[in-house]
Amino acid sequence: MNLKQLEYFVSVAELGSFSKAAVVLDIAQPALSRQVRALEIDLRETLLLRNGRGVTLTQAGQRLFEHSVAILQQVALAREDMGATRDEPVGRITIGLPPTIGRQITLPLIDGFKRQMPKARLAIVEGLSTHIAEWITSGRVDLGLLYNPEAPPGLEIKPLLEERLYLVQASGGEGRKTTQALPLAQLGRYPLVVPERAHVIRRLIDTQATLVGLKLNIAWEVSSIAAIIDLVCAGYGHAVLTASAVAASGRADELSVRPLIEPPLASVLCLATSSHKRSTPLTRQATQLLVDLVRGLPQGAAAGSQPG
C-alpha cells in the first residue's frame, strides 16, 4: 500500500466511477484499475463493487476510505506547509460542486488547475449543497460552491451569483415557446416535478409558497435535476429551476422558461470555505480560479438573466 494507491482509490470512491477518476487524475483507466486492484489484493479485501452505473464502497472500502482521506489530508498539509515558505501551490485540494454547476465548469476547472498549479493535485466531488456544507465542516472537502447556504458555524460564505428561478415547461415546438412572466400566486395551477425537500430549490419554493399562502400542486418528487427535465420534456409536469440548470441539460430547445415574479424568486450561488483551516497558497489560488470561472459563465445561463 502506498500514497499513490490511496489517492487513486479515494478519487474513484469520491467520483463513483473509474472513468471519471481517470479523467481527473490524468491516467489511463486500465492503469487506474490495476492500481486499485493491487490495493485490494494487498489488503485481501474487496473495496469497491462494480456495477453498470459505476462503483460503490463495500463495508471494508468505507473504512479504508475514511482512513485514506485523513492520511492524504495530513500529507497535503505537510506539503502545503513546506511550499508555503515559497508561496508555491502544492499538495492536494478537494472541491465540492453542485451537479448543475459541475457540468459546466469541471473541465475548465481541471484545465486551469493543470496550467496554474502543476505541482498540486485536485479532486472534485459533486453533491447537494447541504452535503457539501457538511463535507467542508468535517474536513472531507476544502472548499465548494453552495446554493442558498444557511451559514452554519465553521463556514465562511461569499456570494458569487444570483440566479433567477423560472417556471420550466415543454415548449411543444419552437413556435409555441413563451417567456411571459408568471406571478407566484398562479404557480399552484401547474402540476410540478420537484426535488425532494432537502434540495435548496425545493426549500426556497416551499418557503415562498407558505409566505404567500399558496398551495403547490406537487405531481412528482425526483432527486435528479436531469431526470426532472426529462420528465418535463415528456409532459409529466412543470419544474421550477434556474436558467443554468436548463442550459446544462442540453435540452433547452425543447423547453420554455417563464420568470417567476411578484415576488421574483432567486437562488444565490456562494463560495464556502472552512473558517478553521489555515489559508495556503494552494487554497488561495484554487479559490481564485473557481471564482473566476463562475463569474465568467455566460450571464444568461449562470446569473439568471432573462433569456432572450
- pLDDT tens, 226-262? 899 999 999 999 999 888 788 778 888 888 888 988 8
Q: In the numeric block, which cell numbers belong to residue 282?
A: 494552494
Please report the pLDDT score of residue 100 as a whole number.
78
Average pLDDT over residues 37-51: 91
Average pLDDT over residues 255-278: 87
Please report the pLDDT score of residue 176 as a whole number.
52
Question: Has residue 58 been placed in a domain?
Answer: yes
Average pLDDT over residues 101-119: 90
CA pair distance 192, 165, nearest whole angstrom: 14
Question: Has residue 290 been placed in a domain?
Answer: no
Higher-confidence residue of 159 and 175: namely 159
Average pLDDT over residues 153-182: 80
End-to-end CA distance of the chain: 56
**Is the same domain home to 166 and 258?**
yes
Distances (CA, A) of 194 to 2, 66, 133, 197, 204: 44, 33, 22, 9, 11
Q: Are 93 and 289 in contact (CB under 8 A)?
A: no
Q: In the numeric block, which cell numbers belong to residue 252?
A: 433547452
Residue 63 has pLDDT above 60, yes or no: yes
Q: 197-206, 270-279, 280-289 — which one is most confidently predicted on average?
A: 280-289
**Is the same domain home to 82 and 166?**
no
At 30, is the secondary structure helix, strand, or coil? helix
**Is the same domain home to 82 and 178?**
no
**Is the same domain home to 166 and 262?**
yes
Residue with cell 463562475: 294
Question: Has residue 22 been placed in a domain?
Answer: yes
Question: Has residue 216 been placed in a domain?
Answer: yes
Give the residue among 67, 1, 5, 63 at the shortest CA–CA distance from 33: 5
Q: Which domain holds residue 77?
A: 1-86
Question: Has residue 236 been placed in a domain?
Answer: yes
Please report the pLDDT score of residue 305 as a whole number.
34
Lowest mean pLDDT segment, chosen from 22-36, 61-75, 110-124, 142-156: 142-156
Q: How many domains does the chain have?
A: 2
Among 66, 86, 106, which residue terminates a domain? 86
Please report the pLDDT score of residue 271 as a whole number.
94
The mean pLDDT of the chain is 85
CATH number at residue 167: 3.40.190.290
Question: Has residue 66 been placed in a domain?
Answer: yes
Question: Has residue 225 been placed in a domain?
Answer: yes
Q: Which residues pair with 222 in a beta bridge?
A: none
Among 40, 68, 86, which residue terminates a domain? 86
Cα Dmax for the chain: 62
- pLDDT confidence bin for 162, thresholds 50/70/90: confident
Residue 81 has pLDDT above 80, yes or no: no
Return all residues near 192 (Cβ < 8 A) that are at least 6 apart: 216, 217, 218, 219, 220, 237, 238, 239, 240
Among 68, 86, 104, which residue terminates a domain? 86
Question: Has residue 241 been placed in a domain?
Answer: yes
CATH number at residue 15: 1.10.10.10
Residue with cell 479523467: 23
Average pLDDT over residues 200-229: 87
**Is the same domain home to 256 and 168?**
yes
